[in-house]
Amino acid sequence: MFNLLKTAVLMAAVTALFMALGSVLGGRDGMLIALLVAVGMNFVSYWYSDKLVLKMYNAREVDEASAPQFYRMVRELAQRAELPMPRVYLIDENAPNAFATGRNPEHAAVAATTGILRVLSEPELRGVMAHELAHVKHRDILISTVSATMAGAISMLAYFAMFFGGRGSGGRSNPIVSLLVMLLAPLAASLIQMAISRTREFEADRGGAEICGDPQALASALEKIHRYASATPLVAAERHPETAQMMIMNPLTAGGLRSLFSTHPSTQERVARLLAMASDHAR
């Protein structure tokens, strides 16, 4: 319920932003057009944001025939978590990473890169997918998916403003629009930061460790993914940095504005908590 409320607030905030910018760019008519665009965007974001994100990553759906071992692993973990079976996707990327998406557990999907299947051992991969299912169980996936879509829309609005209002008379740069463009990306990042709490990753780590029954394997997976992530870029995430917060590990290698979209706690702290959890279980 709380994540649903946060989603509604986020949608309202973005609608207000679109109307304000529409007013600046086109007066009363611009504000009305922006309102209609925002309403349509809210509808699409709620019902289809998962499909949009999966398309951004060129994810392909797999089943027991096309990816038997991986599919059976997800099914067994979903049963342990007492969740409906999610749709399962693979992303043809070398960078090891994974995420969950969907508006609720009944319409959830989990996706993993082919790189993570090659890099991790079976227990480590189980830990990662259990982490993603914990996000599903905690109902984190709606707000994370919608916020990614909304932030992407704000970035598109920056290009729209530059294209339609970026030049004044005589071909000179419009200072108001230039300022708006400079502010929009940090604003999109700020919306995500407000909507997404870093504590959700700690909770998903804890929940994932409980689902798979092996906190140490998940800790080992996080360390391994962290090492690879710093050297192997996830191309789709670099193109759509607003989606990085959905991943089990921040996939962005560049600094600058992209670093604004980082919503993950430090890997060292996550690993330390999981190892402490493993120690407690061993007693």
Catalytic residue set: 132
Q: Exposure pattern of 61-72 as b/e (b: 16+ CB <10 Å)?
A: ebeeeebeebbe
In the chain the first and final C-alpha atoms are separated, in Å, by: 36
Do 103 and 141 touch, CB atoms closer than 8 A?
yes
Determine the Cα–Cα distance for residues 245 and 259; give it in Å rounded to an integer: 11
267 Ramachandran zone, left/alpha/beta (phi>0; psi -120 to 50): alpha
Over the Cα atoms of the chain, what is R_g?
20
Determine the Cα–Cα distance for residues 132 and 109; give it in Å rounded to an integer: 9
- Enumerate the H helices of 103-140 as residue ranges: 114-119, 122-137
Chain centroid offset of residue 244 CA: 5
Contacts 24+ apart (CB under 8 A), 34-40: 38/14, 39/15
Which residue's structure tokens are 């480590």?
A: 124
Q: Exposure pattern of 188-214 as b/e (b: 16+ CB <10 Å)?
A: bbebbbebbeeebbeebbbbbbbbbeb
Do 191 and 147 touch, CB atoms closer than 8 A?
yes
